[in-house]
Amino acid sequence: MKTPPDHLAARLYDASAQILRLDSEVKLDEVATTIDVPRATLYYYFSGRDDLTAYLLTRHLEAGSEVFAPVLSGESGAGDKLRALLQAMIGFLAEQPGVCGGLLSAMGSGIGMQEVMTANDRVIAAPLRDLLSHGRESGEFTFDDAADTANLLLGAMLIAILGRAVEGRSLDDGGFRRSIADQLIRTVTTTT
């Protein structure tokens, strides 16, 4: 895959909801029509739909990491940081449920999605694992394996958001974000 120029990247990113929609696999020709560029332009930068999907998911993961970074750099304890991080992640993903579907597909397909999984690990899962490990070391959290626990939390968020999206229920609900974050926090919090 070649890196598209900024103007094309912005058009693709803006059309991500349509491109990554849950109900079908959009073809590159349809994407070209949607963003009003010649088909040849997309075929120059992307070998096919999987290549485009990997590109978009990676860009979304990187955008998400920019949203989450301030939460991780705060001075609060691990529990407060985790709660704030989970709410930020849920809020970010709720604004684009197609990304949730795309990430789950990427995890399942393997072929052609290595870039997505590498980006997910680098910009999302690794900082979450680090926070979990810090919380375990400080005695705030209890679990056996930080990697498994991070995957559990990430997977639960994706499924919760997708479930709501498929049912047509509102994702723009602070109560939903708090409730899911609180439930996830309880899975790692040390009980006394």
Domain-located, residue 40: no
Buried b (16+ CB within 10 A) or exposed e, 104-122: ebbbeeeeebebbbebbee
The pLDDT tens digits for 59-104 are 888 888 888 888 888 788 999 999 999 999 888 888 877 777 777 7
For the cut 90, the answer to whether the pLDDT of residue 21 exceeds it is no
Q: Which pair of tokens denotes residue 137?
A: 């070391």
Contact 179, 152 (CB under 8 A): no
Sequence-distant (6+) residues with CB within 8 A of 160 are 90, 180
The pLDDT tens digits for 99-125 are 777 777 666 665 557 777 888 888 889
Residue range 6-26: average pLDDT?
A: 81
Domain-located, residue 148: yes
Number of domain units in the chain: 1
Domain-located, residue 19: no
**Which pLDDT score is estimated for 78?**
92
Domain-located, residue 63: yes
Query: pLDDT > 70: what percent of the chain?
Result: 90
Domain-located, residue 39: no
Q: CB atoms < 10 A from the CB of 133, how many?
A: 17
Query: pLDDT > 90: what percent of the chain?
Result: 39
Domain-located, residue 73: yes
Sequence-distant (6+) residues with CB within 8 A of 19 are 12, 26, 31, 34, 52, 53, 56, 98
Q: Which of 183, 16, 1 is nearest to 97 (CA)?
A: 16
Domain-located, residue 28: no
For the cut 70, the answer to whether the pLDDT of residue 130 exceeds it is yes
Q: Which amino acid would we find at residue 15?
A: A
**Which pLDDT score is estimated for 192?**
47
Domain that residue 85 falls in: 53-186
In angstroms, the Cα distances linking 168 to 129, 159, 161 are 32, 14, 11
**Model pTM above 0.95:** no
Domain-located, residue 8: no
Q: What is the CATH number of the domain that holds 70?
A: 1.10.357.10
**Which pLDDT score is estimated for 65?**
87
